[in-house]
Amino acid sequence: PQVWTNGINEASKTALLAWEKETGIELVQVNGQRRYGGPPPGWVGGPPPAGTEVYIGKLPQDMYEDVLIPLFQSVGKLYEFRLMMTFSGLNRGFAYARYCTQRSARDAIGTFNHFQVRPGWPIVVCRSTQKRELIVDGLAASVSQRELEAMLQQVTEGVLSVTLHASPCQRQAKLAVLKYSSHQAAALAKKALMEGNLRLRGSRVRVDWLHRDLKQKLQLWEERPPPSQVQEGKSLAVPKPLALPPVLQDVLDRLNTLCWRQRLGTPMFLTKCVQVNPNGWLRFWYQVVIPGYPVPFSGFTWVRQDGQGRSGHDEAKVAVAQHVLRVLGESL
């Protein structure tokens, strides 16, 4: 509600307005981000080279440019500062600072990574990766590439290519990889698509950055040999990858959905059988890495094969995914 929106962070907002008036700095808010500079007043010449932008994460949501810009300008001249904003007037917990030189960007990382902006509140500062590729997962299997391209051109700008794949997470669904001309174009497209501007058939459509592990997985699938090869006069059938068992698919879907809603990224599982008992019990070591969660989940679990075709690794993944779901559900 508007009353609540106007009522939060009054002290911080008042301090920000006073700082803007005192310094004459102009902040422009558009498409969910508030920007200073790009270029700043008095700038002459083209934009700075690659490697001059840093990512700033884990910010207090009621901290604004009146604190952040002077802090990050203390190590070098800023070309641009972008703070990601919510509709309620809070920041989204992260920002981008682009410096005039690569040295200033390196100094910012060295000075401010793990720096406590408030007692007990360390932030993360690292090199901005300038990602340009998105995934749209959960599209209906009937969606064509031409239809998707036409829709994307209506609601986003700067799309260079679109490729469609079978979804690794949802059966009877497609995953699209979208490549954009710049990180900024991709970020604006991600925001537009996450706000529901993509009108296509398909339930539970998810939009996210294309992460390296998924990119490698998709490349491996593309490089697989065709379903059959002829060698020395014999036809060699290449088995298709087996579908995940329904119980495992269900619990992984629930875990993936929770992670997507919290924007944590896709969980990655490692399981290793370390002990086999004569009575059929198997002991597995496991590790689950969730990109946006501060620490991996790891430990040991005992499982028993159910005799219904699920492997020990599948049983371990079910048990581990259920454990991670419980812990995430409590911590979030």
Residue 102 confidence class, pLDDT cut points 50, 70, 90: very high
Side-chain-side CA neighbours of 258 within 13 Å: the count stands at: 19
Side chain identity, residue 25: I
Residues 84 and 79: their CA atoms lie apart, in Å, by: 17
Q: Which residues contact 24 (CB under 8 A, 6 or more apart)?
A: none
Q: Which residues contact 231 (CB under 8 A, 6 or more apart)?
A: none
Contact between 97 and 127 under an 8 Å Cβ cutoff? The reply is: no
Q: Is the pLDDT of residue 103 over 90?
A: yes
Where does 249-328 sit in CATH, by number? 3.30.160.20
Q: Is the pLDDT of residue 99 over 60?
A: yes
Higher per-residue confidence, 245 vs 122 = 122
Higher per-residue confidence, 232 vs 316 = 316
To 5 degrees, how large is the angle CA 53–CA 137–CA 174? 135
pLDDT recorded at residue 330: 62
pLDDT recorded at residue 54: 92
> Does domain 133-221 correspond to CATH entry 3.30.70.330?
yes
Contact between 68 and 83 under an 8 Å Cβ cutoff? The reply is: yes
Percent of the chain at pLDDT exceeding 90 = 19
Same fold, 10-40+47-127 and 133-221: yes
pLDDT recorded at residue 273: 85
Computed on alpha carbons and rounded to an integer, the radius of gyration of the chain in Å comes to: 24
First vs last C-alpha separation in the chain: 23
Residues 196 and 151: their CA atoms lie apart, in Å, by: 12
What angle, 0 to 180 degrees and rounded to 10, lies between the N-to-C axes of helices 10-23 and 65-73?
50
Average pLDDT over residues 56-75: 93
Contact between 113 and 126 under an 8 Å Cβ cutoff? The reply is: yes
pLDDT recorded at residue 65: 94
Residues 106 and 61: their CA atoms lie apart, in Å, by: 25
Q: Is 1 helix (H, G, I), strand (E, B) or coil?
A: coil
Domain layout of the chain by residue ranges: 10-40+47-127, 133-221, 249-328
Q: Domain spanning 10-40+47-127: which superfamily?
A: RRM (RNA recognition motif) domain (3.30.70.330)
Express each pLDDT in 199-250 by its tens digit: 565 556 788 888 877 777 776 665 444 444 444 444 334 333 444 556 667 7
Q: Is the pLDDT of residue 193 over 70?
A: yes
Lowest model confidence (mean pLDDT) among 15-24, 61-70, 285-294: 285-294
pLDDT recorded at residue 51: 86
Express each pLDDT in 254-299 by its tens digit: 888 888 878 888 888 888 888 887 777 888 888 888 888 877 888 8
Higher per-residue confidence, 3 vs 206 = 206
pLDDT recorded at residue 68: 96
For 154, phi then psi, to 5°, come to -75, -35
Contact between 188 and 195 under an 8 Å Cβ cutoff? The reply is: no
Q: Is the pLDDT of residue 152 over 90?
A: no
Q: Which residues contact 152 (CB under 8 A, 6 or more apart)?
A: 159, 162, 178, 189, 198
Torsional class of 10: left (φ above 0), alpha (ψ -120 to 50), beta (otherwise): alpha
The pTM of the whole model exceeds 0.75: no
Residue 117 confidence class, pLDDT cut points 50, 70, 90: very high
Average pLDDT over residues 305-314: 66
Q: Which residues contact 284 (CB under 8 A, 6 or more apart)?
A: 271, 272, 273, 274, 300, 301, 302, 303, 312, 313, 316
Helix segments in the chain, DSSP class H: 2-7, 10-23, 65-73, 102-112, 145-155, 183-194, 212-223, 246-261, 312-331
Residues 76 and 78: their CA atoms lie apart, in Å, by: 6
